[in-house]
DNA sequence: AATGAATGAGAGTTCATTCAT
DNA sequence: TATGAATGAACTCTCATTCAT
């Protein structure tokens, strides 16, 4: 479903990389422009300002996760054990190859109290993630239990990405996915 | 004209608040100075540069946790159930009243790949936290299991603080501490 | 509100004037900008930093002297007496109308032990000057004598410019050129 | 005739060293204080401001030269050949061991058009130097010739110090003194 | 006399943004 | 659409100077 690969998308892709690695404030418009082979003035043909790039970057990643990952939870023609494994697989694939960790987590901590338009998208993503997980967990747990477990596992995943990022070491991270899977696979 | 006798510790305290709420790059020397009732130039009387304030802020909080929190784990004259409850109590007290979340977590995500002198202190703190937790868990679990659980709970705590911060809602956070306590209190 | 199309060369020309009159450290980026009708931030569009302006200024003057003055020495189709007169004429023309003296001499004394990239260009210029003079003097003197005389006359010229500058009086300076000419014109 | 070695003199001595090596504007009050083992605020007990240190430094060196060097010219109970040799000897002793060159020459070029109180002292020194030399040269040359030669040799000395300083090489400098001596010693 | 905290101006530099070409 | 020159505000940091202690 890859779309036109417009310049706009290229700018977003490069911005995502930079925001993850360098942070939002520490990434300049010149950094973004350089990464795209442009001059900084030229970016304003595509985005109104830096914040617009920030929001678009978050939305871009959010859309990817909704379409490619969270949607898996709702493919009820597949058994839930298969769905949860696919779900975790996709998430692991993404974060184990994502230099700089998770854009949502990073910007959540850097900008939480300052840029409300950003936190809005971040919250929406985390909620979609939690709901998708909870939807699957409800096959075995009560609605309330499922939601609590889902929230816990999203938080744990974010904390693990933070540690993985800090230590440049993915060992610990991997066990998170397996724990989630086992929540549904273990015989009760 | 002159003399207000601002101490290094005062500057650090104000900086910690600002760094947590606004982030590192988004906090200016003028912001810090203003919070201390000084002009921006005056801060350089106390700190060589902004990075020195950053490292000192991290070290200040780290020292507090080592002395006031992590040390509890090693007070072996107390029963482990009492120690873990005190330990969690102290951590909860801190983070439930800490506007802007956890300085270590926030700066870890904002600066991980950019300021190695910062990540050094952050790593040290997380390791001290993990070791203190593991030390208590070893009363009931193998050395290896204890360390795995400790790492998991530190990550989970960080992730929970992130969510609490994002949603301005402490509900979910509180259950993390209780889960850790129950790891040691439940009859096996 | 933009666009005045200031060229690099314009900035260099104004900088040379200012550096000669006020010295390097005492000339601010704002001074340079103002002389060019710009704001200080705008200069960074043309030069990476102040030192780059300094080196470019020295190089600009050096290139002028190489092309317009020192080259005269090597126009061997002209008799040496004509060459030396032209050579001295050009140098006099320059320094008698150069407010603030000689950029090379001034910056040599202000920055000799601090900015090695500057002293490099300054040395190169003085050496080119000495070699050009020596090349002409070799028509009447041995290689060694010619070089000694050349070095002496460059030093004397620099000292004379210093005095001319200090006293706002060109009398003494003018005799230096005549002495050099007479070195080649007098019957031995 | 060494006087009380007051703090004031110490500050001047350190300032002279720093001004010669780093230039006037590039030497901060903190630099001077540090060199004296003081804090920068303390200097203001001895000097009203930085310019006062600058003028005092120039005057200090000027007084030294008047008393120890230029005075030699007027000791008419000695033969002029002995006087000129002593004179040159003293000057060579000074400049061959003077890191950073000549304070008068350096500040002349850095501050000529900016600090008139400085140029005043500098001019006075150079004039005293020229007059002392001329006084001796008058034994063999007309008044006018003597003055012209004296001015020429002071300028040449300054130019030579500049080159010596720039190249970190004293070879060429030494011949200047000998040339002056030979002006009086050669049989006509 | 010396200290050390503070000042206030200004240094060099960066940055998001604008806009004529 | 892209460029590149310019803006103006803000940034980190330095400096000469002041003054209560």
Mean pLDDT, range B170-188, rounded to an integer: 85
Contact C114 D148 (CB under 8 A): no
Mean pLDDT, range B66-70, rounded to an integer: 98
**Which tokens belong to A148?**
């609590």
> How far, in Å, CA of D152 to CA of C179, rounded?
11
Q: Which residues of D touch C156 (CB under 8 A)?
A: 152, 155-156, 159
> How far, in Å, CA of A111 to CA of A23, rounded?
10
The C-alpha angle D155, C71, C47, rounded to 5 degrees, equals 80
CA closest to C1' of E20 belongs to C3
Q: Over the stretch B80-113, which tens digit does the pLDDT of each residue have?
A: 999 999 999 999 999 999 999 999 999 999 998 8
Residue B141 lies in a domain: yes
Q: What is the pLDDT of residue A1?
A: 38
The shortest C-alpha distance from B44 to chain A (Å) reads 22
Banded model confidence at residue D139, pLDDT cuts 50, 70, 90: very high
Residue C16 lies in a domain: no
Contact C166, D126 (CB under 8 A): yes
Which residue numbers of C have CB closer than 8 Å to D's CBs?
21-23, 25-26, 100-101, 105-106, 108-114, 119, 122-123, 126, 148, 151-152, 154-160, 162-163, 165-167, 172, 175
Range of the domain at D141: 50-185
| Positions 2-31 in A, CB within 7 angstroms of strand E | 27-30
Mean pLDDT, range A10-26, rounded to an integer: 96
Which candidate from C123, C126, C163 shows the least CB-CB separation from D155?
Answer: C163
Which candidate from A23, A111, A112 shows the least CB-CB separation from B111?
Answer: A23
Contact B112 A126 (CB under 8 A): no
A/C Cβ contact: 3+ pairs below 8 Å: no
Residue C18 lies in a domain: no
Contact D122, D158 (CB under 8 A): no
Average pLDDT per 10 consecutive residues for chain C, totaling 188 residues: 67 97 96 95 96 97 98 97 96 94 96 92 98 97 96 96 93 89 80
The shortest C-alpha distance from B81 to chain A (Å) reads 24
CA closest to C1' of E5 belongs to B3
Determine the residue among A103, A134, A158 to mutate to test chain B binding: the one whose Cβ has the most chain B Cβ atoms within 10 Å: A158
Give the gyration radius of chain D's Cα atoms: 18
Q: How many Å apart are A26 CA and E11 C1'? A: 23
pTM here is 0.92
Q: Over the stretch D6-53, which tens digit does the pLDDT of each residue have?
A: 589 999 999 999 999 999 999 999 999 999 999 999 999 999 999 999
B22-28 contacts, C-beta under 8 A, 24 or more apart:
B22/A113, B22/A114, B23/A23, B23/A25, B23/A109, B23/A110, B23/A111, B23/A114, B23/B106, B23/B110, B24/B54, B24/B107, B24/B110, B24/B111, B25/A23, B25/A25, B25/A26, B25/B110, B26/A25, B26/A110, B26/A111, B26/A114
3-state SS record for chain B: CCCCCCCHHHHHHHHHHHHHHHCCCCCCHHHHHHHCCCCHHHHHHCCCCHHHHHHHHHHHHHHHHHHHCHHHHHCCCCCHHHHHHHHHHHHHHHHHCCCCCCHHHHHHHHHCCCCHHHHHHHHHHHHHHHHHHHHHHCCCCCHHHHHHHHHHHHHHHHHHHHHHHHHCCCHHHHHHHHHHHHHHHCCC
Determine the residue among C111, C113, C153, C161 to mutate to test chain D binding: the one whose Cβ has the most chain D Cβ atoms within 10 Å: C113
The shortest C-alpha distance from C144 to chain D (Å) reads 13
Domain count, chain C: 1
Residue D167 lies in a domain: yes
Residue A42 lies in a domain: no
Contact D162 C158 (CB under 8 A): yes
Contact D9, D46 (CB under 8 A): no
Residue A25 lies in a domain: no
Q: Which residues of A touch B113 (CB under 8 A)?
A: 21-22, 100
Provide the number of CB pairs (under 8 Å) joining chain C to chain D: 116
Q: How many Å apart are B101 CA and F3 C1'? A: 44
Which candidate from D122, D123, D159 shows the least CB-CB separation from C158?
Answer: D159
The CATH number for B68's domain is 1.10.357.10
Which nucleotides in chain E have some atom under 7 angstroms from a protein Cβ?
1-21
Residue C32 lies in a domain: no
The shortest C-alpha distance from A113 to chain B (Å) reads 6
Banded model confidence at residue A74, pLDDT cuts 50, 70, 90: very high
Q: Over the stretch B52-67, which tens digit does the pLDDT of each residue have?
A: 999 999 999 999 999 9
SS3 (DSSP) at D38: coil
Residue C27 lies in a domain: no
Give the gyration radius of chain C's Cα atoms: 18
């Amino acid at each position: 479903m890859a779309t036109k690969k417009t310049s706009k998308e290229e700018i977003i892709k490069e911005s995502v990389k930079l925001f993850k690695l360098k942070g939002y404030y520490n990434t300049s418009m010149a950094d973004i422009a350089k990464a795209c082979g442009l001059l900084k003035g030229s970016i304003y043909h595509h985005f109104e300002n830096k914040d617009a790039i920030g929001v678009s970057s978050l939305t871009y990643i959010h859309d990817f996760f909704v379409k490619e990952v969270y949607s898996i939870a709702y493919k009820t023609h597949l058994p839930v054990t298969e769905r949860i494994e696919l779900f975790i697989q996709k998430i692991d694939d993404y974060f184990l190859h994502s230099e700089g960790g998770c854009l949502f987590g990073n910007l959540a901590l850097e900008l939480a109290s300052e840029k409300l338009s950003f936190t809005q998208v971040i919250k929406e993503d985390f909620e979609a993630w939690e709901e998708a997980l909870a939807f699957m967990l409800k096959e075995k747990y009560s609605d309330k239990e499922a939601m609590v477990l889902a929230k816990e596992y999203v938080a744990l995943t974010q904390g693990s990405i933070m540690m993985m990022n800090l230590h440049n070491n993915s060992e610990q991270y991997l066990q998170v996915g397996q724990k989630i899977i086992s929540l549904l696979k273990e015989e009760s």
